[in-house]
């Protein structure tokens, strides 16, 4: 970030003035604030899709990070966020901004596309549970592994997406050792969504990677993708996902 700040002026010198500058995380917000010094008429928009753990807590580092964010947001025209949980649990209690906050959920956007066909009735064989997306929650992997081992043959766990090797170093070993669990690699969105969700009965949406914080507050893409394509969501009581489905 420091290197980018030092070279930002040269990188932007030939660009025409923008109407808006959009930053997605605190690091990008620093760059956006510097760019706005060059174009003071541009609107500064801050997009928040997650609340990183470095921003939370009472220690000196998170307090300093929140103070920096508040300072940078003094000139913001708008904050965009994907979940009401982020507003209720973070922006309001910490007083991070006085700018308007607009909720823009991660809903599927397929203009002109017809809704997928309704899923048929119960299929023969084991109940198929899909865990899709960025696979980084060790609790979820262990939970799904335990479920299948408790009742062999009753469930079939289908994993798709990108496993986070730093968080799940034993991912390949766990899957290989479980005959009721299969990893079918990455997928393309939206091209592959109808096929991968048609292949499962339930979409597993429980995430405990940042339990009590971001994991409880977010509304993930797979909530909207799974519901659109007919997979019944599996959620955890007390989370924003559960509140949204109960509304």
Rounded to whole angstroms, the Cα distance separating 247 from 244 reads 5
- With 0-12 / 13-18 / 19 or more C-beta atoms within 10 angstroms meaning exposed / middle / buried, residue 185 is exposed
Kindly list the distances between the CA atom of residue 74 and the CA atoms of 8, 23, 132, in Å, as whole numbers in the listed order: 21, 14, 38
**Is 79:73 a contact under the CB 8 Å cutoff?**
yes
Higher-pLDDT residue of 193, 123: 193
Domain 2-103 classified CATH 3.40.50.2000? yes
Which tens digit of pLDDT belongs to each residue from 132-145? 999 999 999 999 99
103-116 residues labelled b (16+ CB within 10 A) or e (exposed): eeebeeeeeeeeee
CATH of domain 127-246: 3.40.50.2000
Query: pTM, whole model, 2 decimals?
Result: 0.89
Which tens digit of pLDDT belongs to each residue from 142-187? 999 999 999 999 999 999 999 999 999 999 999 999 999 999 999 9
Q: What pLDDT was estimated at residue 190? A: 87
Rounded to whole angstroms, the Cα distance separating 226 from 119 reads 12
Share of the chain above pLDDT 70, in %: 94
Q: What pLDDT was estimated at residue 7? A: 73
Question: Do 2-103 and 127-246 agree at the fold level?
Answer: yes
Q: What is the mean pLDDT of residues 209-236?
A: 95
Q: What pLDDT was estimated at residue 215? A: 97
Q: What pLDDT was estimated at residue 110? A: 72
Q: What pLDDT was estimated at residue 123? A: 76
Rounded to whole angstroms, the Cα distance separating 46 from 29 reads 7
At residue 92 the predicted structure's pLDDT band, cuts being 50, 70 and 90, is very high
Q: What pLDDT was estimated at residue 165? A: 95
Rounded to whole angstroms, the Cα distance separating 118 from 205 reads 21
pLDDT at 101 over 70: yes
3-class SS string, 146-160: HHHHHCCCCEEEEEE
Kindly report the average pLDDT of the chain as a whole number.
92
Q: Which residue has the tokens 């308007």?
A: 100
Domain ranges of the chain: 2-103, 127-246
């Amino acid at each position: 970030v420091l290197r980018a700040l030092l070279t930002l002026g040269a990188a932007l010198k030939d660009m025409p003035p923008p109407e808006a500058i959009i930053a997605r995380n605190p690091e990008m917000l620093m760059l956006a604030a510097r760019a706005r010094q060059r174009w003071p008429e541009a609107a500064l928009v801050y997009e928040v899709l997650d609340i990183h753990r470095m921003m939370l807590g009472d220690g000196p580092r998170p307090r300093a990070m929140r103070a920096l964010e508040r300072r940078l947001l003094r000139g913001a025209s708008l904050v965009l966020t994907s979940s009401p949980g982020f507003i209720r649990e973070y922006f309001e209690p910490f007083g991070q901004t006085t700018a308007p906050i607009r909720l823009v959920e991660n809903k599927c956007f397929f203009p002109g596309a017809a809704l997928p066909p309704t899923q048929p009735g119960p299929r023969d064989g084991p109940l198929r549970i899909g865990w899709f997306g960025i696979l980084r929650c060790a609790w979820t992997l262990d939970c799904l592994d335990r479920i299948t081992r408790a009742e062999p043959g009753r469930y079939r766990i289908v994993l798709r997406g990108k496993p986070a090797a730093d968080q799940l170093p034993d991912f390949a070993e766990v899957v290989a050792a479980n005959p009721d669990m299969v990893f079918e690699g990455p997928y393309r969105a939206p091209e592959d969504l109808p096929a991968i969700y048609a292949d499962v009965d339930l979409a597993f949406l429980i995430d405990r990677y940042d339990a009590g914080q971001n994991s409880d507050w977010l509304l993930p893409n797979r909530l909207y993708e799974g519901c659109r394509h007919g997979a019944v969501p599996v959620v955890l009581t007390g989370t924003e996902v559960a509140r949204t489905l109960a509304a």
